[in-house]
Amino acid sequence: MPQAYLDYAATAPVRPEARRAMAPLLSEAFGNPSSTHRLGLAARDVLESARECVALLLGASPDEITFTSGGTESINQALKGVALARRGEGHLVTTTVEHPATLETARVLEEWGWRVTYLPVDSDGLVDPDDVRRAITPQTTVVSVMHANNEVGSVQPVAEIARIARDRGALVHVDAVQSAGKLPVRVDDLGADLLSTSSHKLGGPKGVGALYCRSGVTLAPLLHGGGQERGLRSGTENLPGIAGFGAAVEAASRELPAAHARLAELGARLIDGVLYSVDAVRLTGHPVQRLPGFASFGFEGLEGRWLVKELSRVGVSCSTGSACSSETKEPSHVLAAMGLPEEVTRGAARFTMGWATTVEETQFAITAIPRAVERLRARGAAGDDLAAEYAQDCRSARDRAVRGLVAGALSRVLRRS
Ligand code: PLP
């Protein structure tokens, strides 16, 4: 285990409440919620109580919640679902800093004949609501905007954008994958007709999420089959995952006000610590309007991907911008859209906190980051030898992990015999 896990924007450790909720469903309570015998009915109860937990978090009604395989599927289902239900052409307004789940779906809509407007952001990563006003036409079908950005943590003025869109008759989809469980995400306050969430970002298991669809909004399904989830998402439900998601949501909802304050304080401590002890570094994202516990920087004179490796070596887990692009050399589309200079975007790294982050982890990172930056800057931009060195490091870590697994399996076999 790292001494400081600061990559909650990629994924969070699974909460004990989620593990406890999942365990019986992986053993004796294995029923299918569509079966009508006792095991099936018990499974149905689990499914519906998880749905209630998610509905409560979002201020929605349980029949407006559909379980999916995660944020990516929720976003695809929301946007393609609107397009398929309406048939024919439409107009999507979105932003240049969305997650690829939205941007790639937008490209598919373009292939289907839709017009897509990608709104610019300012240097803090925020959309100007006046740009939304100007972009919307009578033909605009849906406005899709993320609540909090996954690379720089900036929180968009979603409620204001939604008011403009809904006044003009457009639907509003909100990608709340990063914000759910960290900020209030009540659908009426945000003005969302559709809203996507994901379990693993808030301490539930991976491979499960939810889509909120306001009652009265019609979506065409992407998956056809047995008609589960009121026909919107066929396929036997991932019940252990859904139960874990429900339990994680319940815990996150209960902790929300206290967790917000705690993470805001830890995040501010990390930001202040880094800005104080490192030269030529810039905080990326909005200085105030940002997710609590989200510290993202551009370190001049180094490459973010090497900083991530160097910090990993000393026990700090973080990432460059997004988990999907952490191995690439390309500047992130988010930082590029914010118009940041190349020397800042090249050295991007993000440190993100969540439900289990401690003061000690934060302090450890505050000490480790300046040292790692100094070491890398002293070596200069020696990309090739750094790559070889870190690859060797990774191989050794993998070898150690494999040896540990083999030793564990052997000792279990020996105990049994
Ligand atoms: N939207 C945002 C803002 C994200 O950060 C992510 C994941 O990183 C997703 C969507 C996709 O979610 P999932 O990993 O559950 O598919």
Contact 196, 71 (CB under 8 A): yes
Ligand 1 pocket member 177 (CB < 6 A): yes
Ligand 1 pocket member 101 (CB < 6 A): yes
Give residue 210's pLDDT band: very low, low, confident or very high (50, 70, 90). Answer: very high
Give residue 328's pLDDT band: very low, low, confident or very high (50, 70, 90). Answer: low
pTM above 0.85, yes or no: yes
- pLDDT value at position 329? 65
The CA 167 to ligand 1 mean position distance, Å, reads 28
Residue nearest to atom 8 of ligand 1 (CA): 10
With b for 16 or more beta-carbon neighbours within 10 A and e for fewer, the 157-174 pattern comes to bbbebbebbeeeebbbbb
Ligand 1 pocket member 144 (CB < 6 A): no
Cβ partners under 8 Å of residue 138, min gap 6: 168, 169
- pLDDT value at position 278? 98
The residue to which tokens 């015998």 are assigned: 37
Tens digits of residue pLDDT in 215-273:
999 999 999 999 999 999 999 999 999 999 999 999 999 999 999 999 999 999 999 99
- pLDDT value at position 87? 87
- pLDDT value at position 414? 59
Q: Is 351 helix (H, G, I), strand (E, B) or coil?
A: strand
The CA 323 to ligand 1 mean position distance, Å, reads 9
Exposed, middle or buried: residue 113 (CB in 10 Å: 0-12, 13-18, 19+)? Answer: exposed
Task: Between 323 and 302, name the one with better pLDDT.
Answer: 302
The CA 104 to ligand 1 mean position distance, Å, reads 13
Phi, psi of 143 (to 5 degrees): -110, 125
Contact 166, 209 (CB under 8 A): no
Residue nearest to atom 12 of ligand 1 (CA): 71
Give residue 88's pLDDT band: very low, low, confident or very high (50, 70, 90). Answer: confident
- Residue 394 falls in the annotated catalytic set: no
The CA 302 to ligand 1 mean position distance, Å, reads 27
Tens digits of residue pLDDT in 293-319:
999 999 999 999 999 999 999 999 999
